[in-house]
Structure 1
Amino acid sequence: METWPLILIIDTRSATLCDYVPLGCAPSFRGSIWRLPKLQNCVSVYLMADFQDFANLCFERFGDRVKHWITLNEPWTFAVTSYDYGTTAPGRCSTWRNNNCTGGDSATEPYIVTHYQILAHAAAANLYRTKYKVDSKTRLILQKIIMYMDPLVFGDYSRLMKSLIGARLPRFTAEQSNLVKGSLDFLGLNYYTANYAAHVTSFENDVVNVSYTTDNRANLTTSLNGVPIGEKAGSDWLYVYPQGIKETLLYIKKNYKNPIVYITENGIDEINNSSLTLKQALTDNFRIRYYNRHLANVVEAIKEGVNVKGFFAWAIMDNFEWDSGFTSRFGLNYVDFTGGLKRYPKLSAKWLTNFLKK
């Protein structure tokens, strides 16, 4: 087996966990398909075995300190950006979508990858439950969006997906359906923003240029009649719409048997502006407003019966964002990228600390 990126630094990861646990932290672990040595295996059954091996190593080496396992982080992002848009590794898609793609089929591969990601998660969950004897304080999930929920809750794709995608959608065998169904202990929800959606009938009649995107039969926008859906953040895709997190949570409660939910990512960024003084950079009242409004909506959802058990702010500190590098700052703590990476708490970090003490 080829060397995995995580294995190369496994001692460092282990040492980091040892540092944090005595401080009262409860580490959560997120896996990712991008850690696989051969990304082409993601369109084949080999993904299950490869990912199970990877998960087994992580359970074995970190299991005494990690109590929450997120098997796959943002599986939708991997399936769609890598196999429909072709903008992330391994850069596969139909040529009409992106001339730079190295092969692929946007009409089928996003669904094949999704299918094998679900099976890979289920295999890892089964391994953990049978070999490592999961206890009542240990939880294992696939971090997912709604497209993944029907198989994991009911054992199969929804009738709507089957109707829209037809023969291009892979099918579960009876054995696979039993493996997948109920293979999550809680749902991890990443929520940042929302879009307006308009039905696009032209997609229904195009049988040549077919992709995951056209299958949605929708045009997503951030404004309606020239009015933005909310205040714009630093990133072009992020507009503030706090009520959307409540709407999503209520949808999950209604349609998927009210599972335990953790908000695994929620946050807002600003553009990295080197002309600001340190004092100015630490004054992020817009981030305080963002968290205050989103957490208020989460509380409202809880009062209406949604089973939310935890919340992760993105991010604890300014970091390297995959799409924007160091040009975007999501952190509660400011990082001086040119001055030895020294950290300084922003106003939002102090606000959130006080909020959590209440």
Structure 2
Amino acid sequence: MVNHFNEFANLCFERFGNRVKYWITFNNPWAHSKVWHSYDTQWRAKQKGLVGISLSGDWGEPVDITNQKDIEAAERYVQFYLGWFATPIFHGDYPQVMKDFVGRKSVQQGLGTSRLPTFSPQEKSYIKGTCDFLGIGHFTTRYITQKSNPSGRSSGSYFTDRDLAELVDPRWPDPGSEWLYSVPWGFRRLLNFVKAQYGNPMIYVTENGVSEKMLCTELCDDWRIQYYKDYINEMLKDPLTSHMEMVTEIVVPTVCTLSILLSAIFLMFLLRRRN
């Protein structure tokens, strides 16, 4: 199938490449790198286009940001979701946490090898760097907590491998779809995660939106307008890669500035008293 898809992609490059300059191999993957290499070697020089991929990714926030196990579980949630395919493309291999957890679960199931495939050195080199831009489909966020899932012989799956539980905040606006809640700040944190993990790649938001909150006989789009407004505003904010960076870049300079001002005021007060 990889070769068939590559042939199809080359036909598209040949017929439309003089007009189309941005190509997304897959909206969610499974045969990407070969097409990138085909474009890079055969078409890029004369067509001057870019080839990327579009991956889905919801944000995972720790239930308790002071609990190390919840923090690690939230990291696994994102790595198993977005990192599953983004990390090989940018770094040449699956996320280490995936290799560790899937490998451990596979052993517990009595399997001789991990259910997660292993890349050869040649495959790692071939896959790494095959992305001129990253498309991201993002809709919502989950709170994540540590939860050990059973690992019997018949229970091994993507969901049980992660050892975590997904929760929602009942205060989050509910658009009517059981899986989609409006959590704009999660979008910003996902974008900052991508920036930190993958070297600040060019990003296109290829999917984002919300279902209709209620059936209407006439136009009633206030809910959708508000969703887009909130998410776009989060995207436009200054980038911060983490809570700690927020403390470093905002809180610390602010405290220092206030300290300097207070010191200056106190010094002026002393000088006036002496005079």
Query: How does 1:137-176 map onto structure 2 within 5 Å?
Result: 138-144=49-55, 145-166=82-103, 167-176=114-123
1:183 aligns with 2:130: yes
Structure number with greater Rg is 2
Paired residue secondary structure (2:32): helix
- Answer whether contact 2:83 2:94 (CA < 8 A) is retained: no
Cα pair distance change 1:296/1:271, threshold 3 Å: closer
Render the CA deviation track for 1:202-227: whole Å, top value 9, x for unaligned: 33x4343111111111122323xxx2
Render the CA deviation track for 1:105-160: whole Å, top value 9, x for unaligned: xxxxxxxxxxxx2xx21100000111112568521112122221221111111221
Paired residue secondary structure (1:171): coil
- Answer whether contact 2:21 2:47 (CA < 8 A) is retained: no
Alignment match of 1:70 (pick from 24, 47, 50): 24
Cα pair distance change 1:71/1:134, threshold 3 Å: farther
1:262 aligns with 2:216: no
Cα pair distance change 1:277/1:181, threshold 3 Å: same
- Between the aligned partners of 1:305 and 1:201, the Cα distance in structure 2 is 31
Query: How does 1:39-58 map onto structure 2 within 5 Å?
Result: 47-58=1-12
- Between the aligned partners of 1:271 and 1:255, the Cα distance in structure 2 is 35
Write 1 or 2 for the structure with the bigger share of helix.
Answer: 2
Gaps of 5+ in 2: 56-81, 104-113, 242-275
- Between the aligned partners of 1:201 and 1:305, the Cα distance in structure 2 is 31
Cα pair distance change 1:147/1:134, threshold 3 Å: farther
Amino acid at match of 2:183: Y
Cα pair distance change 1:265/1:212, threshold 3 Å: same
- Answer whether contact 1:142 1:184 (CA < 8 A) is retained: yes
- Between the aligned partners of 2:115 and 2:193, the Cα distance in structure 1 is 27
Render the CA deviation track for 1:160-185: whole Å, top value 9, x for unaligned: 11111122111112221111000001
Count the aligned residue pairs: 205
Amino acid at match of 2:176: G
- Answer whether contact 1:122 1:180 (CA < 8 A) is retained: yes
Render the CA deviation track for 1:288-308: whole Å, top value 9, x for unaligned: 1111111110011xx3279xx
Q: Which structure carries more relative contact order (alpha carbon 8 Å, separation 6+)?
A: 2
Cα pair distance change 1:296/1:222, threshold 3 Å: same
Amino acid at match of 2:129: G
Equivalent residue for 2:38?
127
- Answer whether contact 2:33 2:127 (CA < 8 A) is retained: yes
Task: Tell me the percent identity.
Answer: 35
**Runs of 4+ more than 3 Å apart:** 134-137, 205-208
Render the CA deviation track for 1:240-275: whole Å, top value 9, x for unaligned: 0000110001111111111111111111111673xx
- Between the aligned partners of 1:220 and 1:134, the Cα distance in structure 2 is 46
- Between the aligned partners of 1:158 and 1:277, the Cα distance in structure 2 is 48
- Between the aligned partners of 2:48 and 2:225, the Cα distance in structure 1 is 32
CA RMSD of aligned residues (A): 2.0
Amino acid at match of 1:61: R
- Answer whether contact 1:139 1:186 (CA < 8 A) is retained: yes
- Between the aligned partners of 1:250 and 1:200, the Cα distance in structure 2 is 26
Q: Give the structure-1-normalised TM-score.
A: 0.54
Alignment match of 1:233 (pick from 167, 170, 175): 175
- Answer whether contact 1:141 1:188 (CA < 8 A) is retained: yes
Alignment match of 2:157 (pick from 191, 211, 235): 211
- Answer whether contact 1:245 1:298 (CA < 8 A) is retained: yes
- Answer whether contact 1:71 1:141 (CA < 8 A) is retained: yes
Equivalent residue for 1:107?
none
Amino acid at match of 1:177: K
Equivalent residue for 2:146?
199
Equivalent residue for 2:221?
284
Cα pair distance change 1:255/1:175, threshold 3 Å: same
- Answer whether contact 2:139 2:180 (CA < 8 A) is retained: yes
Paired residue secondary structure (2:210): coil
Render the CA deviation track for 1:60-88: whole Å, top value 9, x for unaligned: 2222221111101023xxxxxxxxxxxxx
- Between the aligned partners of 2:47 and 2:20, the Cα distance in structure 1 is 13
Equivalent residue for 1:222?
168
- Answer whether contact 1:128 1:134 (CA < 8 A) is retained: no
Query: How does 1:2-81 map onto structure 2 within 5 Å?
Result: 47-75=1-29
